[in-house]
Amino acid sequence: MSALAAVAVAVQELDADQRAALDACVVAALALSSCEGEARGRARLLMECHGRYVQSFGVLDPAPAFTVFLQRLRGGRVADLLPRRPRQSVLGELRLLGADGTPSSALNRMAVEAAEHGHQAPGIGADIRHLYSLLRAVGMLPEGAGLSRISGETVQHAVFRALRAAGFEAYTQGRETMVRTPVLKRRELSRNAALTELGAYVGISPTRQFSGMWAACPMCEWTMRATYRTDGSVDLECEDERHSLLGARYRAEPIANGWHLVPRGELRTVPELVPVEGRVALPYALWLWVTMPGLLEIELRDRLVALGAQVRLWPFGDAYDLHITTAGSSERWCVDVKTWADPYGLAQALREAPEGPGQLCFVVPEHLRGYLPVLRRGVLGTDARVLTDTDLVAEVRRA
pLDDT tens, N- to C-terminus, the chain (399 residues)? 456 666 777 777 888 898 889 989 999 998 888 777 677 888 888 999 999 999 999 777 788 999 999 999 998 899 889 998 887 778 888 889 888 888 887 888 888 877 667 788 888 888 888 888 888 888 776 666 666 667 777 888 889 888 888 888 888 899 999 999 999 999 999 998 999 998 999 999 888 999 999 999 999 999 999 988 888 899 999 998 889 989 999 999 999 888 999 999 888 889 999 999 999 999 998 999 899 989 999 999 999 999 999 999 988 777 889 999 998 788 899 998 888 656 666 656 655 554 555 678 989 899 888 878 878 887 887 888 899 999 999 999 988
Check if the beta carbon of residue 18 is closer than 8 Å to that of residue 86: yes
pLDDT score, position 196: 92
SS3 35: coil
- Mark residue 318 as left, alpha or beta (left: phi above 0; alpha: psi -120 to 50; beta: remaining): left
- Mark residue 157 as left, alpha or beta (left: phi above 0; alpha: psi -120 to 50; beta: remaining): alpha
Check if the beta carbon of residue 326 is closer than 8 Å to that of residue 399: yes
pLDDT score, position 109: 82
Check if the beta carbon of residue 207 is closer than 8 Å to that of residue 190: no
Burial class (CB in 10 A: 0-12, 13-18, 19+), 252: buried
pLDDT score, position 303: 94
The distance in angstroms from the start CA to the end CA of the chain is 29
Number of H-type helices and E-type strands within the chain: 18, 14
Compute how many other C-beta atoms are within 10 angstroms of the C-beta atom of residue 193: 11
Cα(390)–Cα(394) distance, rounded to whole angstroms?
Answer: 6
Cα(382)–Cα(357) distance, rounded to whole angstroms?
Answer: 7
Check if the beta carbon of residue 250 is closer than 8 Å to that of residue 229: no
pLDDT score, position 134: 86
Check if the beta carbon of residue 178 is closer than 8 Å to that of residue 289: no
pLDDT score, position 1: 45
